[in-house]
Amino acid sequence: MSTATDSGSRIDVRRVLRGAALPALLFTIWWAVFHFGWTDSVMFVPISKVWETAVRLSATGELWRSLGASLARDLAGFALGSTIGFGVGIALGLSRLLENLVGPTLHTIKQISLFAWIPLISVWFGLGDTAKVVFLSLAAFFPVVLNTFEGIRSVPRELIEVGRVFALTPAQMLRRVVLPAALPSIFNGVHLALIYAWLATLGAEYLLTSGIGIGNLLTDGREHLWMDQVLLGIVIVGFVGFTLNLIANHIEGRLLRWRGTSTGQY
């Protein structure tokens, strides 16, 4: 047992090292460009200056306020959009009538570019946090609703027949058979929603400029040609996106292990 565990740990370490290789190479090239004097462009700054800006903005609290505001909007929009998408996806997956009534409209709406909704959202909800959360919930809604629908419709007919043999009520059938079987697809939608919501957070803060956030920090840096602030914002955005993806992968692994154990008991 210990050998397998150790082997799995070594594999995880190798994966982490492989994933860190390209960022490490890029940071090394970045450092070398200024260390050896290969450029003097004001459009690019050394890592040391970006680090100094990070320390300064952290000391004043501006960096943490911006990051906290962006994450709060991201999680609020993700939670709202995912919850609604999950409910709608279940309803569509369980009802052929509802699918025929709502499905064509839903598939048409999803073809509209996400950012095309911003003018309408800004008119209805203004430029503040409410508008941003609505926009982010829209970004999270479609991956969850579509993957939940597909997951429920892909449940093997044999499992449904087993549930009927045991005379499960509709609620029991949904909770004990349908949702566990559809869980991989559902979580795939939730995973995508988490990524899309974070990407949309930056877009919302660029285009709905009221308030503070990492997107606003990037915008201020661009307008004043503070390239150290712009590059710092880009690094933070990438790090947060990586962290969210890592958390989602960890939760997915735990949930799917639970599914494998629990479904074996039915």
- What is the pLDDT, as a whole number, of residue 11? 45
- What is the pLDDT, as a whole number, of residue 265? 39
- What is the pLDDT, as a whole number, of residue 262? 43
Query: Which of 146, 155, 148 minimizes the C-alpha distance to 103?
Result: 146
Which two tokens mark 208?
A: 């709905």
Q: CA-to-CA distance for 198 and 143, rounded, in angstroms?
A: 13
- Spans of all domains in the chain: 47-263
Mean pLDDT, rounded, for 13-26: 74
- What is the pLDDT, as a whole number, of residue 71? 93
Residue 10 has pLDDT above 50, yes or no: no
Confidence of residue 138 (pLDDT cuts 50, 70, 90): very high
Which two tokens mark 219?
A: 């915008």
CATH of domain 47-263: 1.10.3720.10
Residue 138 main-chain phi, psi, to 5 deg: -65, -40
pTM of the complete model: 0.79
Let me know: does 233 contact 214? Beta carbons within 8 Å: yes
% of the chain beyond a pLDDT of 90: 24
Mean pLDDT, rounded, for 183-202: 90
Span 39-91, pLDDT tens digits = 766 667 888 888 999 999 999 989 999 999 999 999 999 999 999 999 999 99
- What is the pLDDT, as a whole number, of residue 258? 56
- What is the pLDDT, as a whole number, of residue 259? 54
For residue 138, count other CB atoms closer than 10 A to its CB. 23
Q: CA-to-CA distance for 111 and 36, rounded, in angstroms?
A: 49
Q: CA-to-CA distance for 28 and 36, rounded, in angstroms?
A: 12
Which two tokens mark 83?
A: 């919850």
Query: Which of 182, 199, 240 minimizes the C-alpha distance to 63?
Result: 240
Q: CA-to-CA distance for 161 and 154, rounded, in angstroms?
A: 14
| Average pLDDT value for the chain | 82
